[in-house]
């Protein structure tokens, strides 16, 4: 049982949480019991379930997201992962209908990412698009719907509200940040993915392209986030976020110049440290903004 819960990789799901918090904040959400249920449904049950499902088929022996030494995969992991997903889906219904259906769409996309019959992970562009849509845009939109999809708005109105200029710019900006970090999480898995036959971004185009792609995505996110954060919160906030993005882009460039493919564990730790520091900074900022509200 312990190994099954380890495969949920909850510390890694916590790294993804700022996406949800960002959508919730932008949509004007107020933290309450429904917010807590929505948060747990997404980060423990949805993300945890699909991550365990991925582990069942990948059977990684080397480091994976926030887990330096994954435990062996057992047959029980498959039904366990699906049960976790279904529990989260039931919780999602208690939030609101659009949140419930978006949870289902993201779960289906994540299952297609890992299952051998489709295996979107095995192709570079489909894998990047899956993460961009399911994790970046989808995670942010789940936060938005948790704030806007209550009884005061119908399902159509709740979804339509996300296509306002504020919603589009905010979701696209967050999606670019997430998509930019994704290939970096494949750098330390290159050989294992290659042995499995998965043509990931890094396997197909190499680590150098992954570093350039990451920097480009983060730079593209900068004007989008500035256009949201400045007018909605303050230009001081926007300046701080711009400085963080610039620091990350410079740091990625420095890492690229000194990158050693053979240093698997070192690259794993560096990737996780980067993700944790960036996520932790946004955690602090977003929680402070929610509490100030």
Q: What's the CA gap between 141 and 232, in Å, rounded?
A: 18
For residues 105 and 138, the answer to whether their CB atoms sit within 8 Å is yes
Domain that holds residue 55: 2-292
Predicted pLDDT at 1: 86
Q: Which tens digits make up the pLDDT trace of 246-256?
A: 999 999 999 99
**Angstrom distances, CA of residue 40 to CA of 52, 107, 174:** 16, 15, 20
Going by C-alpha positions, the residue among 288, 247, 284 that lies closest to residue 17 is: 284
Given a cut of 60, whether residue 56 has pLDDT beyond it is yes
Instruction: Provide the pLDDT for residue 130.
Output: 96
The distance from CA 63 to its chain's CA centroid, rounded to whole angstroms, is: 18
**Is the pLDDT score of 174 beyond 50?**
yes
Q: Whole-angstrom Cα distance, residue 155 to residue 162?
A: 11
> Do 107 and 45 form a contact (C-beta atoms < 8 A)?
no
Task: Write the DSSP symbol of residue 154.
Answer: -
What percent of the chain is predicted at pLDDT more than 70?
97
CATH code of the domain in which 114 resides: 1.10.600
Q: Where would I find the H helices in 182-263?
A: 190-196, 201-232, 235-257
Scanning the structure block, which residue is given the tokens 């043509």? 199
Residue with tokens 């997404």: 42
Quick one: pLDDT band at residue 74, thresholds 50, 70, 90?
very high
Query: How many domains is the chain built from?
Result: 1
Query: Which residues sit opposite 67 in a β-bridge?
Result: 64
- pLDDT score at 245: 97
Residue 114 structure tokens: 């890992």
The rounded distance, in Å, linking the Cα atoms of 46 and 51 is: 8
Average pLDDT in the 255-271 region?
A: 94
Mean pLDDT, all residues of the chain: 94
pLDDT value of position 152: 46
| Chain CA centroid to CA 127, Å | 13
Average of pLDDT values for 60-73?
89
Lowest mean pLDDT among 70-79, 99-108, 141-150, 186-195: 141-150
3-state helix, strand, coil in the chain (%, to 5): 80, 0, 20
Tell whether the model's pLDDT for residue 64 goes beyond 80: yes
pLDDT confidence of 65, banded at 50, 70, 90?
confident
How far apart are alpha carbons 204 and 207 in whole angstroms? 9
User: Hey, what are 92's tokens?
Assistant: 């999602």
User: What's residue 150's pLDDT?
Assistant: 58
- pLDDT band at residue 293 under the 50/70/90 scheme: confident
| Predicted TM-score (pTM) of this structure | 0.95
Average the pLDDT over 32-59 and give the result.
96
Quote the pLDDT of residue 153: 52
């Amino acid at each position: 049982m312990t190994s099954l819960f380890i495969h949920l990789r909850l510390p890694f799901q916590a790294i993804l949480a700022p996406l949800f918090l960002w959508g919730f904040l932008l949509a004007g959400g107020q933290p309450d019991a429904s917010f807590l249920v929505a948060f747990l449904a997404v980060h423990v049950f949805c993300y945890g379930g699909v991550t365990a499902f991925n582990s069942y088929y990948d059977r990684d022996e080397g480091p994976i997201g926030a887990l330096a030494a994954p435990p062996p995969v057992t047959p029980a992991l498959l039904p366990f992962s699906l049960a976790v997903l279904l529990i989260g889906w039931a919780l999602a219904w208690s939030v609101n209908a659009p949140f419930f259906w978006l949870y289902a769409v993201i779960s289906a996309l994540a299952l297609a990412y890992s299952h051998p019959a489709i295996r979107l992970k095995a192709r570079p562009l489909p894998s990047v698009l899956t993460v961009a849509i399911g994790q970046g845009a989808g995670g942010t939109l789940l936060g938005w719907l948790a704030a806007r999809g209550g009884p005061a708005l119908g399902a159509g109105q709740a979804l339509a509200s996300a296509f306002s200029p504020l919603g589009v710019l905010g979701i696209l900006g967050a999606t670019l940040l997430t998509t930019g970090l994704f290939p970096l999480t494949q750098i330390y898995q290159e050989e294992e993915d290659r042995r499995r036959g998965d043509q990931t971004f890094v396997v197909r185009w190499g680590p150098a392209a992954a570093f350039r792609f990451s920097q480009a995505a983060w730079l593209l996110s900068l004007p989008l986030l500035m256009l949201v954060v400045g007018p909605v919160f303050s230009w001081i906030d926007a300046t701080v976020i711009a400085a963080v993005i610039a620091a990350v882009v410079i740091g990625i460039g420095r890492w690229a110049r000194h990158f050693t493919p053979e240093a698997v564990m070192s690259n794993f730790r560096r990737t996780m440290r980067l993700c944790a520091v960036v996520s932790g900074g946004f955690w602090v900022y977003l929680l402070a903004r929610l509490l100030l509200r």
